[in-house]
Each structure stands twice: as structure tokens, then as C-alpha cells.
Structure 1
Amino acid sequence: MGEIAYKICVFGESGVGKTTLARRYLTGYFEEDIKLTMGAELFVKYIKIDDIRIILQLWDFGGEDDFNFLLPLYSKGSSGGIFMFDLNNKASLNRIAKWIELFKEGSLKSEKICPILMVGGKQDLQGKIAITESEARTIAKENNLYKYIECSSKTGVNVDNLFEKLMRDILKLQNII
């Protein structure tokens, strides 16, 4: 089997750690000084899951309101989505329904099933956690998000794991594995 390309959109409020997550996954390093994403940024990583070579296209969307119009345009043809919020900032979950609606507006134009993973970031700031795991799981369920996972781009906890989980689930949905 040759290479298969998959498009994953990473979206959520500004400052929740979307770009840091993408860069940590791509490079294995934590970058402290990340600039605001203006519009959207594309990252590409070549991975292998069960002898299947994958070209993973990660689309990181700026969380500022000025860029919201881009998500439905760019999410068309997506294989999956990651809704990210900051575990230390309850307000970063306030507009979850808006983000999911914007993503689905574009992604549902294709016929394929497009799972959305909910990710709670900045897990390393343990003393400041404002959203419990059970609260987050309830919100994920209420919004029909298929899974929930917490991670830390700073320490690397669950970063590779969340992308592998999402990709494995997409491959299973497409009956590839």
C-alpha cells in the first residue's frame, strides 16, 4: 500500500495551546514563545501505523474571532478534528458549540464520517486546573465528541498518544485496519 494523506483540523479559542501542540508533535520539542496564529497554519508529518504510511496534514486554526470564517472553508475534506481547550481556563470551553458547528459546516460536506477528539491542554499546570476530567467528559458527551484526552505540550504527556488514537480510529472507521 502506498501513502495515504489525512487532513486533521485543530481548533478552539485563542491561547489554548493549539500551535504548541502541533509543533510539539512535529518536532518533539516544546516551544515557549509561540506567536498568535493569523488565519491558519499547515503542518505536515509523515507517520506509520501498522505498516500504513500516512501523510498527516495538521491544519492549526487561529482562535481569534476575525479568523472564524476560515474554519468551515478549510475543514472541507477533513478526516478528523481536534477541539482543544485550556484545562486552566473554564472560559475556553464556553463556545465549544460554536467551534464544532463551524468545523462541521465544512467537514460534513463530504460523505465520510469525521470524528472530533476533545483535548484538554496544559495538564502540566496541576495546581491551576479549573475543569475536572469528569466535567470535561460530560461536555464531550453532550457535544457528541467521540473521545476526550488530556495532554501537556510542555512535558509531552499524551501528545503522540492523542494523534495516534485519532489516526487509528480514523483508519478503523475507513476499514483500513
Structure 2
Amino acid sequence: MDSSHHQIQGEQNRHHHHGQQQQQQQNVPEKNTVTLKVGLIGDAQVGKTSLMVKYVENCFDEIYTQTLGVNFMERTINIKNTEITFSIWDLGGEAEFTNMLPLVATDAVALLFMFDLSRKSTLNSIKDWYRQARGFNRTAIPFLVGTKYDVFFELPDAEQAEITKQAKKYAHAMNAPLIFCSTSASINIQKIFKIVISKAFDLRLRIPEIIHIGEPILLYQDV
């Protein structure tokens, strides 16, 4: 996993007879480099920081210090001939940090609106977060991400059904993919960012959708 920037060496010149200028042109790196800014938005303690750290550093800690303001991390991946750097911005969920929302939302390619699957109040808050963030960025691709699926899985069936139904309703209204994930159990973390890439570049993904209540929902194809 590569969370830093690396200089890419150009391909060796195969056209020796075209002179020095042509040789220098051939040494220009042929890889495309793209930066995708992704904003993580939602109430405090829903797992925004842990999702970011899990994706970038592949580690999970039960205890995270509450984000004061904005966190920022990067991870670079290579897909075919393109180097993609995810620039991930994590906004503290307390009300006093709302004034920093423009930092996170502006110029983002995707906005992950996150809620805790085991706390329905955090899902209810998504309406306000969505409205405010859209005021700063109307073009970013929205995602609705339910966290702590491992805790949600232990809830009574009726409660799981109610939360899933409401989340599907919100995702439909937002025209957003809906993903349930767990950082501690490593469920659907990588898939979130694969779907971000597929939506950003209009690529087809072969990841099967998961639609049944009680399972880690993954709905993205029809939005």
C-alpha cells in the first residue's frame, strides 16, 4: 500500500535514431496521475476517522481521539496505466466544526455521508449534513455509508429492518449508492473506494450487489 507520492521513471527510449530531443521526450513518464478528493461527513463518533485510517493504513484502533476540525490523509493506488491518489478529508462531527465544512466539501469528487447503523439519530442527521454540503458542492457524487455493521448485526431483526428501510429511502432521495461497512471487521471498506473510482470515471464494476436485510448492504448499480 502506497500512501506517498513516488516519481515515476520514464520508459527507456526505444527510438535511438530520432536524436536527443526525441530521446528526452520519450523519457517523460507515460503514466497518468489523478487526484480524487473524497470528503467524509457525518455526526461525531460515527467512525469517519477509523474508516479513513483503515483504508489508508489498514489498521483499526478501538479508541480514536475525537477529530477537532479536519483530518487529512492520502493513499495512492495504481490502476492499469493510471496512478490515482485519494485525498481523504475527514470533518469533525461536532456542531462547532460546521464552519470547516467548505474545506472538506469544496472540489470533492465524492462525498461520503456517514452514519452509525446502531444509532438511528445519526441517520436522521444526514438530511442536514447533505443540505449543508450541497450548498458548497453540487457536483460531487454522494454516497450514503452506514458504519459499525458488526454492531448493527447484533440488533433485533425488526430494528435492522427499520434502519435498512430508512437508509434505502434516504439513499434513493440522494440518488446515492448505499453501503453498510465495518472497519473493525474489514467489511466493504475497499469496495467503497472502488465504487468511488467506478462512479468518477464511469467504469463498470463486477462487484455483486448485496440487497437483503441483515446483510452488509451494497447498492450502487442503478444510481
What is the identity, as a one-letter code, of the residue corresponding to 1:18?
K
Contact 1:23/1:31 (CA < 8 Å) preserved in 2? no
Paired residue type of 1:6: L
Matches within 5 A, 1:24-173: 24-108=54-138, 113-125=139-151, 126-128=153-155, 130-132=159-161, 133-142=164-173, 144-172=174-202
CA positional deviation for 1:85: 0.3
- 8 Å contact 2:32–2:81 — kept in the other structure? no
Question: Do structure 1's residue 22 and structure 2's residue 49 form an aligned pair?
Answer: no
CA contact (8 A) 1:6 1:78 kept: yes
- Contact kept in structure 1, 2:91 and 2:101, CA below 8 Å: yes
Q: Which moved more, 1:115-124 or 1:67-76?
A: 67-76
Q: Relative contact order (C-alpha < 8 Å, sep 6+): which is higher?
A: 1
Q: Which moved more, 1:85-94 or 1:43-52?
A: 43-52
Instruction: Calculate percent identity across the aligned residue pairs.
Output: 27
TM-score of the pair, normalised by structure 1: 0.88
Question: 1:94 & 1:115 partners in 2: Cα distance?
Answer: 20
- Flag the 1:146–1:50 CA change in 2: closer, same or farther, 3 A: farther
Contact 1:90–1:131 (CA under 8 A) maintained in structure 2: no
Aligned residues between the structures: 168
- Comparing 157-166 with 122-131, greater Cα deviation is found at 122-131
> Could you tell me which amino acid in structure 2 is paired with residue 121 of structure 1?
T
User: In structure 2, what is the Cα distance between the partners aligned to 1:55 and 1:131?
Assistant: 35
Q: What 5-or-longer segments of structure 2 have no aligned partner? A: 1-30, 204-223
